[in-house]
Each structure stands twice: as C-alpha cells, then as structure tokens.
C-alpha cells in the first residue's frame, strides 16, 4: 500500500470511530468559523457539499447562505459527462444518494457559466500548504478545475485529525486556499 492509501486508511478508520455527537459539535464550531471568513462575507455564489455522516456537516452554512440571499450550488453527478458539476440548490430541492453514495439533488438544475466565488470542499486529509487528499477517484479535483470554479476561494473543512504536515500529492491535486478545523484557520500558499 502506498503512502496516500495508508493516509486514507488511517483517516477512514478515525472517522468511523467518531461519535455522532462529536461530529455535530465539531461541525458546528468549524461552520461558525467559516462564517467569519472575509471570503464568506464577500461571496455571492457559493458551492457547498452535502455532508455524509462522518464529514464536517454543512447544514449551518447552507441555512446561512439562504438567509443572506447568496446563490447556493452543490456538486451533482452529470452522467453524460461522467463528472460532477455545480447544480443550483434551493429549499425545494429533494436530495438522494447519487453516484458513489454522495448526496445530491434528485433533479439537478445545472448552472450556465456562472462564476462561483467560494467553494467548501470535503476531503480525507489536508496539509498546511493547501494539499488535499480525497477518496482517490479524482472527481473533486475535476470539479474544482472547472472554469466556473477556477477563481473560487477553495475552503477545506476538516477535523483536526485530518490535518497533516505534508501530504504526498500529485500534479492534478487542486490545492485549497484555506482549511478550517475546530482549532484553527489555516491560510495556505
């Protein structure tokens, strides 16, 4: 097993041991911190993942987006292109488990060349230099490399145990600009 797979395995094991109450408490702290970011205040169009049970939850961010009148988008899988694309997400959207058991809208409303200002990104591991390690399929890196997201501020949301000093990265791994954990806001680059 290579170093990337060892890290993935280590973090998956740690995440599976999390109590739901810990996920809820830490997620609330991380989300409150993200709402203090200058990038949040200046953003009009935001892309945010729909969290799985062992990820930093995003419900507070989504609710605040709607309360402040920000345009909200979520990643949804487009079968014809075999990749994730930002889809408009309003309160009326029903969600379901989609490709790879990732939550997404039942009937995605695809965006048309709208620039995203801020994107919240899940991951298995992050480093203090902006490195991010996902599940290994490259789907999020493909999403983040799309033109509508190229200039977006990329914010990784993570538990402290998901932070590493330096990850073994590949050239196609898209770096984060900021990583927020329960104990710190890491500004990268």
The percentage of the chain sitting over the pLDDT mark of 90, rounded to a whole number, equals: 70
For residues 73 and 116, the answer to whether their CB atoms sit within 8 Å is yes
Res. 176: pLDDT tops 90: yes
Res. 112: pLDDT tops 80: no
Based on the structure, what is the number of domains in the chain?
Answer: 1
Which structure tokens are listed for 97? Answer: 């488990």
**Element at 83 (helix H, strand E):** strand 83-88
Which structure tokens are listed for 35? Answer: 């709402």
Question: CATH number, domain at 74?
Answer: 3.40.50.10420
Domain hosting 21: range is 3-187
**For the segment 58-106, what is each residue's pLDDT rounded down to a tens digit?**
999 999 999 999 999 999 998 888 889 999 988 777 888 787 778 888 8
**For the segment 115-133, what is each residue's pLDDT rounded down to a tens digit?**
899 999 999 999 999 999 9
């Amino acid at each position: 097993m290579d170093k990337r797979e060892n890290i993935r395995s280590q973090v998956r094991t740690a995440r599976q041991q999390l109590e739901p109450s810990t996920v809820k408490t830490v997620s609330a702290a991380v989300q409150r911190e993200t709402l203090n970011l200058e990038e949040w205040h200046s953003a009009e169009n935001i892309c945010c993942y729909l969290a799985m049970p062992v990820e930093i939850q995003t419900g507070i961010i989504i609710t605040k987006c709607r309360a402040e009148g920000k345009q909200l988008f979520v990643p949804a899988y487009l079968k014809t292109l075999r990749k994730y694309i930002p889809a408009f997400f309003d309160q009326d959207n029903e969600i379901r488990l989609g490709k790879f058991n990732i939550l997404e809208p039942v009937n995605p409303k695809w965006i048309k060349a709208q620039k995203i200002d801020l994107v919240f990104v899940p991951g298995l591991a992050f480093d203090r230099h902006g490195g991010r390690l996902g599940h290994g399929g490259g789907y999020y890196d493909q999403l983040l490399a799309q033109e509508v997201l190229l200039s977006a501020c990329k914010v990784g949301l993570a538990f402290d145990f998901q932070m590493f000093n330096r990850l073994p990265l590949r050239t196609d791994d898209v770096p984060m600009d900021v990583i927020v954990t329960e104990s710190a806001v890491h500004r990268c680059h």
